[in-house]
């Protein structure tokens, strides 16, 4: 019996479970889209692969900021924002928590981001925005992205459809769980968003 626990148990059960836990905690996991904020790129029920590890630089060094403009990221909104919190009713108790959001990075630290005439502008230049549902519904004044944050927008730029950095400001990089640039389901949407 002790021999079973020493060899077979570790090879067939414990080791695979340990590897699975390590991968899901530090490497990747699956996230389901809920809501209209990323239409037309992502839709409710779509399943995305979330990559939690940071991007590696060209010389195998960690890059200073592992995200790029255009990345789809999963994150928690800044805790000081009224939009960061939800109340769940669990056994009659109102439990507050910060849910995850999914949006697209449009501004990096030091960038000046604005919406003018429905057009996204970064550092004073109009930016091609192929993922957007159309022109932004409302102008936003220029805003400089602070260090260690990213500016995110939903692809659905209709004002009430996406609560994003227009409402709660830039997102702290530490609150970003990772990128979700790979769609796993439904079959017709497999690949990039």
| pLDDT band at residue 5 using 50, 70 and 90 as cut-offs | low
The answer to whether the beta carbons of residues 98 and 80 sit under 8 Å apart is no
pLDDT tens by residue, 33-44:
888 888 888 888
Nearest to 182 by CA among 190, 174, 173, 172: 190
> pLDDT: is 99 or 10 the higher one?
99
Peptide bond into 33 cis (omega under 30): no
Flag whether pLDDT at 1 surpasses 60: no
pLDDT tens by residue, 144-181:
999 999 999 999 988 678 889 999 999 998 888 888 87
What is the chain's mean pLDDT, rounded?
81
Alpha helices in the chain (DSSP H): 2-6, 8-9, 15-22, 165-168
pLDDT tens by residue, 85-106:
888 777 777 778 788 899 999 9
> pLDDT: is 24 or 97 the higher one?
97
Bridge partners of 116, per DSSP, are: 119
What order do you get walking across the sheet with 119-122 strand by strand? 125-126, 119-122, 112-116, 140-144
DSSP, collapsed to helix, strand or coil, labels residue 63 as coil
pTM of the prediction?
0.79
Q: Which fold has domain 2-189?
A: Umud Fragment, subunit A (2.10.109)
What pLDDT, on the 0 to 100 scale, is given for residue 51?
77
User: What's the rounded Cα separation, in Å, for the pair 182 and 48?
Assistant: 6
168 φ/ψ angles, rounded to the nearest 5 degrees: -115, 5
> pLDDT: is 190 or 60 the higher one?
190
| pLDDT band at residue 58 using 50, 70 and 90 as cut-offs | very low
What pLDDT, on the 0 to 100 scale, is given for residue 65?
61
Flag whether pLDDT at 191 surpasses 80: no
């Amino acid at each position: 019996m002790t021999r079973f626990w020493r060899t077979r148990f570790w090879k067939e059960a414990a080791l695979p479970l340990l590897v699975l836990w390590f991968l899901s905690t530090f490497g990747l996991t699956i996230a389901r889209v809920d809501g209209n904020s990323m239409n037309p790129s992502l839709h409710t029920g779509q399943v995305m692969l979330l990559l939690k590890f940071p991007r590696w630089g060209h010389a195998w060094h960690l890059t200073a900021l592992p995200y790029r403009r255009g990345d789809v990221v999963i994150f928690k909104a800044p805790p000081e924002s009224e939009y960061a919190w939800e109340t769940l009713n669990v056994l009659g108790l109102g439990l507050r928590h910060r849910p995850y959001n999914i949006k697209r990075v449009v501004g990096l630290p030091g960038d000046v981001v604005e919406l003018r005439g429905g057009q996204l502008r970064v550092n004073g230049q109009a930016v091609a925005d192929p993922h957007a549902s159309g022109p932004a519904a409302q102008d936003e004044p220029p805003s400089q992205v602070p260090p260690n944050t990213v500016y995110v927008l939903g692809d659905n730029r209709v004002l009430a459809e996406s609560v994003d950095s227009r409402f709660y400001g830039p997102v702290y990089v530490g609150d970003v769980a990772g990128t979700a640039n790979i769609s796993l389901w439904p079959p017709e949407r497999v690949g990039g968003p």
